[in-house]
Amino acid sequence: MNEEALQRSYKRFGLTPDASLREVELAFHKLRKLYSDNSLATYSLLEDGDLPDRLNSLQAAYDMILQSRLYSQPASDQAFPERRQEDRRDQDSRIVVVDADPQQKPGLFLKQMREARNMSIHNVAERTKIGPHQLQCIEAQDFTALPAPVYLRGFLKEFCRAVKVQDPDQLVEAFMMLYSEAT
Alpha-carbon gap, residue 23 to 126, rounded angstroms:
20
Burial 122-153 (b: 16+ CB within 10 A, else e): eebbbbbbbbeebbebbbebebeebbeeebbb
Judged by CB under 8 A, which stretch of 10-18, 93-101, 108-116, 126-134 contacts another protein? 10-18
Q: Which is nearer to another protein, 35 or 109 (CB)?
A: 35
Position 75 contacts another protein (CB under 8 A): no
Burial 30-62 (b: 16+ CB within 10 A, else e): ebeeebeeeeeebeeeeeeeeeeebeeebeebb
Shortest CB 13 distance to another protein, Å: 8
Total residues contacting another protein (rule CB under 8 A)? 17
Nearest to 34 by CA among 17, 19, 12: 12
Report how far Cα 17 is from the mean position of its chain's Cα atoms: 14
Judged by CB under 8 A, which stretch of 42-50, 65-73, 78-86, 90-98 contacts another protein? 42-50
Exactly one of 21, 58, 138, 174 binds another protein (CB under 8 A); which one? 58
Position 29 contacts another protein (CB under 8 A): no
Q: Which of residues 152-181 bind another protein (CB under 8 A)?
A: none
Cβ(24)–Cβ(16) below 8 Å: no
Q: Residue 29 contacts by C-beta under 8 Å, 6 or more apart in sequence?
A: none
Position 16 contacts another protein (CB under 8 A): no
Position 12 contacts another protein (CB under 8 A): yes
Judged by CB under 8 A, which stretch of 7-15, 75-83, 84-92, 137-145 contacts another protein? 7-15
Q: Which amino acid is at 28?
A: F
Judged by CB under 8 A, which stretch of 3-11, 120-128, 150-158, 174-182 contacts another protein? 3-11
Exactly one of 14, 36, 73, 85 binds another protein (CB under 8 A); which one? 14
- Number of other CB atoms surrounding residue 1 within 10 Å: 10
Given the rule CB under 8 A, which residues bind another protein? 4, 8, 11-14, 30-31, 34, 39-45, 58
